[in-house]
Amino acid sequence: MAAMDVEDVFRAEYGRAVAVLVRFLGDIDLAEEAVQDAFTTALRSWPETGVPPSPAGWIITTARNRAIDRLRRESKRAERHAQAALLHGPGPLPEEGPVRDERLRLIFTCCHPALAVQARVALTLRLLGGLTTAQIARAFLVPEPTMAQRLVRAKAKIRNAGIPYRVPRDADLPDRLYGVLAVVYLIFNEGYGGSPDLCAQAVRLGRLLAELMPDEPEVTGLLALMLLVESRRPAREDADGALVPLPEQDRDRWDRDLIGEGQALLRRCLRRNQPGPYQIQAAIQAVHSDAPTAEATDWGQILRLYDQLMALAPSPVVALNRAVAVAEVEGPRHALDLVDDLDLDGYHVFHAVRADLLRRLGQDTVAVRAYEAAVALTRSPAERAFLQRRMRTLTR
């Protein structure tokens, strides 16, 4: 068995194992260290003994035993011995049934509203995604010590504030679930700007949530949304690595398997007739995926969906995206009037949309200034290069 095979098991089972160990140990750091020790042991032993019938069960049981051994080694007081004895129950720890609840508990703990949004993202990627601190830091363009401190502070907040390790009560679930979905979508959007690995992690977390909460239509809607957007990744760059905007993409390069899966999930949502923001956004992406050419896009339907989204979850960003649809249905002049009423001066997409509308209206000098503002604000090298290319077409 190759080390790569152990890494595959690590990615698939790390969150499951940590979730179970946190429940039994009551300590996130100890649970993480024990699971990491178990995978280190697997790297040494599995090439000789082969993969056990239940890799997750092996990892969980081995991690528990490592934690017990550590508690005993480090204990200097009788109560620590007692804690280790209580943990040393007979037989393997459960894998199915209760484990589903353990993972949900860990997700809601990582995304507790008492934690800062950045801490929620970091913890979710660390504990459920299995990413290293260095990987998370690189993805979010911050120094590794900065990310390490965020993780330390978040774990300390959970411990010191007594943040409960549980799924919220039914009455609290809708608000808390939306916070969880927002974290996953934030991870996806960060990755879409230039880190495919982050997008893959977000989709994996979306699949996990859909598995654990199959009766929540917004969970299914978010997964459908991410799959439909991700389906266009192969066409987002040309042979030279330059960004290709949606209207100019080669639609033959879109991933039809992801489109089919995303549309099937969306149809399942629609049958429930419980529309929510993520489902509506997924429906918008489905309209794009249905169009064989950019010219065939049903912008009237997209505009109606944005009207519905504005009624359910109004925000300046949604209004900006709606204005793009308005430009296609009613023309760029009306759309520009809508955009100019928005307070989004610190958002690079706002300036990019505004620049494009001004360009279409022949106001090249003002459009260049808008492109310059967008270039100054974007963090994505590919987007920056695209905007600069557009700007140069107006200054020749």
Question: pLDDT digits over 322-365, tens only?
Answer: 999 999 999 999 999 999 999 999 999 999 999 999 999 999 99
Pick the last residue of a domain from 91, 110, 135. Answer: 91
- Report if residue 350 sits inside a domain: yes
pLDDT for residue 98 is more than 70: no
Pick the last residue of a domain from 72, 91, 110. Answer: 91
Mean pLDDT of 314-320: 96
Helix or strand run (H / E) with residue 296: none
Three-state secondary structure of 204-223: HHHHHHHHHCCCCHHHHHHH
**Could you read off the pLDDT of 113-155 as tens digits, one per residue?**
999 988 999 999 899 888 889 888 887 778 999 999 999 999 9
Pick the last residue of a domain from 91, 118, 144. Answer: 91
- Report if residue 366 sits inside a domain: yes
CATH number, domain of 10, equals 1.10.1740
Domains in the chain: how many in total? 2
Mean pLDDT of 232-244: 92
In which band, very low, low, confident or very high, does the pLDDT at 77 lie, cut at 50, 70 and 90?
Answer: low
Long-range contacts of 347-351 (CB under 8 A, 24+ apart): 347/317, 347/320, 347/377, 348/373, 348/374, 348/375, 348/376, 348/377, 348/378, 348/383, 349/317, 349/320, 349/374, 350/320, 350/374, 351/377
Residues facing residue 237 across a β-bridge: 243
pLDDT at position 6 is 77
Domain limits for position 33: 1-91
**Could you read off the pLDDT of 255-283 as tens digits, one per residue?**
999 999 999 999 999 999 999 999 999 99
- Report if residue 326 sits inside a domain: yes
CB 215 within 8 A of CB 174: no
Residue 186: burial class (beta carbons within 10 Å; 0-12, 13-18, 19+) = middle
- Report if residue 152 sits inside a domain: no
Q: How far apart are CA 229 and CA 369, in angstroms?
A: 30
Give Cα 41 distance to the centre of its chain. Answer: 30
Q: How far apart are CA 202 and CA 196, in angstroms?
A: 10
As a whole number of Å, the end-to-end CA separation of the chain is: 59
Three-state secondary structure of 68-113: HHHHHHHCCCHHHHHHHHHHCCCCCCCCCCHHHHHHHHHHHHHCCC
- Report if residue 230 sits inside a domain: no
- Report if residue 390 sits inside a domain: yes
Q: How far apart are CA 200 and CA 198, in angstroms?
A: 5
Q: How far apart are CA 369 and CA 355, in angstroms?
A: 8
One-letter amino acid of 256: R
Any residues with CB less than 8 A from the CB of 383 and at least 6 apart, and which?
193, 243, 348, 352
Segments in 273-363 forming alpha helices (H): 277-290, 299-312, 316-330, 332-340, 348-360
pLDDT for residue 80 is more than 80: no
Q: Which two tokens mark 136? A: 């998370």
- Report if residue 286 sits inside a domain: no
Q: How far apart are CA 315 and CA 338, in angstroms?
A: 13
- Report if residue 18 sits inside a domain: yes
CATH number, domain of 370, equals 1.25.40.10
Residue 381 has phi, psi (to 5 degrees) of -60, -40
**For residue 382, which of 135, 134, 192 has the smallest C-alpha distance?**
192
Q: Which two tokens mark 137? A: 């830091």
pLDDT at position 91 is 46
CB 379 within 8 A of CB 141: yes
